[in-house]
Amino acid sequence: MTNSKAVTGTDVARLAGVSKSAVSRAYNGGYVAPDVRVRIMEAARKLRFRPSPAARALSTRRSRLIGLAITALDNQFYPEMVDRLSERLAASGFRMVLFTTRGQADLEPMLDELLGYHLDGVILASTSFATRVASECRDAGIPVMMLVNVDPTGQIPGVTADNRLGAEAIAAHFMTCGYRTMAVINGLQESSASNERTRHFCNSLADHGLPLPHIISGEYSFAGTAEATRRLMALPGRPDAIFCTTDMMAIACLQTLGEYGVVPGRDIGVAGFDDAPIAQWPVFSLTTYAAPLTLMLETCVSNLIQAMSGNAPAAGTISLPGELRVRGSTRAPLV
């Protein structure tokens, strides 16, 4: 059956022999008797009815859209996170709107875009002004969760891997392997995750009486990490182990070390953080601290849905423990 004009809920209600409000309840999560729901869906199928998301948002005051803001997708940890987060939200009846900030310095365009979509909630995994954006969204009445990069003050609720446990595990592994001259390649200054990993790695070395590592920024980019690696290799007492605060930077470091004829795992140790899928490839075989991604996403989404229902979770950060994955980019521990 075809019509020259768009099919409406009223048309479906007339064919199904029910009220228009029953059609609305069937599509918006309200109660409808099972036999009535069958009639409504059969009528909608015959009429090829597709409810308008905009009209549904007006009637329910809910868009069923969740915004996710991240810096970029070139870090191989994030495409997997985005894919799995989209699946988890879809299972709860939501769709994800992706915003990539790419380190932009101007806050206003991102805020205008986020607020312009009438989002039901926002997840912020971006390093660019994430705490400020979260505060603005919260002031606008939009529930917010921070993911991976969290609010250092603890005022905005967030979920992250336990950066302290991860950094300490890598430091302990380096020490058991006999490495003594270490370095850190970290990310952007505004990244809470990178800052925490760097700080706890340094503290762990100091607690064991080892000198503080040489710290240099890789700026979360391949080119920046390659340059940082070259600068470390040019030092008079170049490091025998390098901790990169993300796997993406660790992969760039491994690639660059090939220019110097050194073999990771034999001549120098390299470790990352996240356990992105590429870290497991045999060509890299990267030792890393695996973030508990499944639990992080489940906790983040559950708390956001709770907040959207009017039961805001307590402020503060939930830090979830991961697991050290030892591979070929570091040598075997000394006996």
Split the chain (335 residues) into runs of 10 and give each run's mean pLDDT: 68 90 76 86 87 56 82 84 93 88 61 76 78 80 90 88 98 97 92 93 97 94 96 95 97 96 96 96 97 96 91 85 97 84
* Superfamily designation of domain 163-291: Response regulator (3.40.50.2300)
Q: Please, where in the chain does CATH 3.40.50.2300 lie?
A: 65-161+293-320, 163-291
The dihedral region occupied by 103, where left means phi > 0, alpha psi between -120 and 50, and beta the remainder, is left
Distance of CA 214 to CAs 154, 177, 180, 204, 244, Å?
Answer: 29, 19, 12, 14, 12
Fold of 9-60: 434 Repressor (Amino-terminal Domain) (1.10.260)
What span, in angstroms and rounded, lies between the C-alpha atoms of 126 and 261? 36
Q: Quick one: pLDDT at residue 4?
A: 54
Do 213 and 202 touch, CB atoms closer than 8 A?
yes
Start-end of H helices in the chain: 9-16, 20-28, 34-47, 53-60, 77-91, 107-116, 130-139, 163-176, 192-207, 222-233, 247-257, 293-308
Please state at what angle helix 9-16 crosses helix 20-28, rounded to 10 degrees: 110
Task: Check the CA dihedral 258-263-267-271 and report its sign.
Answer: positive
* DSSP codes joined into one string, 182-219: EEEEE--TT-HHHHHHHHHHHHHHHHTTPPPPEEEE-T
Distance of CA 17 to CAs 32, 41, 220, 290, Å?
Answer: 14, 12, 60, 56
CATH class of 65-161+293-320: alpha beta
Q: Please, where in the chain does CATH 1.10.260.40 lie?
A: 9-60
What span, in angstroms and rounded, lies between the C-alpha atoms of 68 and 65? 10
Q: Quick one: pLDDT at residue 174?
A: 98
Task: Check the CA dihedral 221-227-233-235 and report its sign.
Answer: negative
Q: For residue 323, what are the β-bridge partners?
A: 290
Q: Quick one: pLDDT at residue 266?
A: 94
Q: Nearest Cα to 323, choosing from 293, 283, 281?
A: 293
Residues 6 or more apart in contact with residue 309 via CB below 8 angstroms: none
Q: Quick one: pLDDT at residue 107?
A: 58
Do 243 and 199 touch, CB atoms closer than 8 A?
no
